[in-house]
A and B are shown apart, each in its own frame.
Chain A
């Protein structure tokens, strides 16, 4: 379980996170929703110790994130985290070099799944394919938790569908996933849990099936209520 406990963060005078708390379970897809600039990316960065928080605590399975955690949790930012001059094959080799959790079989499978050619240079890829390589490099790690920042933004519809398919496959199954988005429609049926953010706080944290069951509301219905209030 990933526990985010009352984290606060300021950028200059701007209070970006003002006491954010939520949890994300293993085996579930948790979706952080909020308009752009609401601090979603900052939360993911903070979980990965890529940016300091002013107060609060983040725990991964009850422990603080250390270097060993990176064999257990990975982060797929919205831009590719590999050197563009590398080919996909070289990028995979790099990952294999540093991560014990790298699973080349799964990487090869993902290459096929996304129809990518490993001899292609990353810099020569389309936006959609670059996003897929970025995803591949994260998903091929045998980690328990995966964080994804806006995996659907700024790419073509077919790539979006392909990426959405990942969420219903064994590539994600059993793992804990946190994804951020400002646009829910692509993935409404995929997610287990929703965390609605605004102005640096969590407005509501709920289970999407429970809300449908007990209140007959869609995720969008709840968002409408919460954000209008």
Chain B
């Protein structure tokens, strides 16, 4: 697992975000155990204290839960899982809209373009998976 961290956002925030993306994409399933603090630190090559902080944050947000004497697990709470997905989509759309608005494209044309591009990219990804 290689994650490219930027240097300006807190690393723990980037770790939380990384987990959200994994959850949204279904790479991490509800109830699945997450790596221990130490394992994750060496996988991501970051400070164990940072991982600790990220886990604490995720616990507070309800993304993971810990039962006594067992490893932390991804939440089974549908609401939370749904919210994660929504949050990521909204965030991406926000960024997109902000940058596209400066060009003043009519929304219909934009949607058409988005659809076309999106299908095309999915085809490519699907195609390369067969190679």
Contacts and interface: CB of A to CB of B under 8 A. Distances in A.
Contact of A165 (B8, B13, B42, B53): B42
Interface residues of A, number: 24
A221 interface: yes
A7 interface: no
A159 interface: no
Contacts of A170: 38
A28 B9 CA distance: 20
B41 A192 contact: no
Interface stretch (A32-40, A85-93, A116-124, A211-219): A211-219
A213 B48 CA distance: 18
Dominant SS at the B interface?
helix
A40 B5 CA distance: 28
A173 B52 CA distance: 12
B45 A218 contact: no
A209 B50 contact: yes
Nearest to A161: B45
B47 interface: yes
A191 B53 CA distance: 14
Interface string A1-45: 000000000000000000000000001110000000000000000
A190 interface: yes
Sort chain B's interface into a size bin.
20 to 34
B7 A218 contact: yes
B22 interface: no
Contact of A212 (B11, B45, B49): B11
Nearest to B7: A218
Interface in A152-197: 164-165, 167-170, 173, 188-192
B47 A189 contact: yes
- Residue of B5, B6, B45 contacting most chain A CB atoms (<10 Å): B45
Q: Lowest 10 CB-CB distances: which A-B pairs, in order?
A: A218-B7, A212-B10, A168-B41, A213-B10, A168-B42, A189-B46, A218-B8, A209-B10, A169-B42, A173-B48
27 contacts: A164-B45, A165-B42, A167-B47, A168-B42, A168-B44, A168-B47, A168-B48, A169-B41, A173-B38, A173-B48, A188-B7, A189-B45, A189-B47, A190-B45, A190-B46, A190-B47, A192-B47, A209-B53, A212-B9, A212-B11, A213-B10, A213-B13, A216-B8, A217-B8, A218-B6, A218-B8, A220-B7
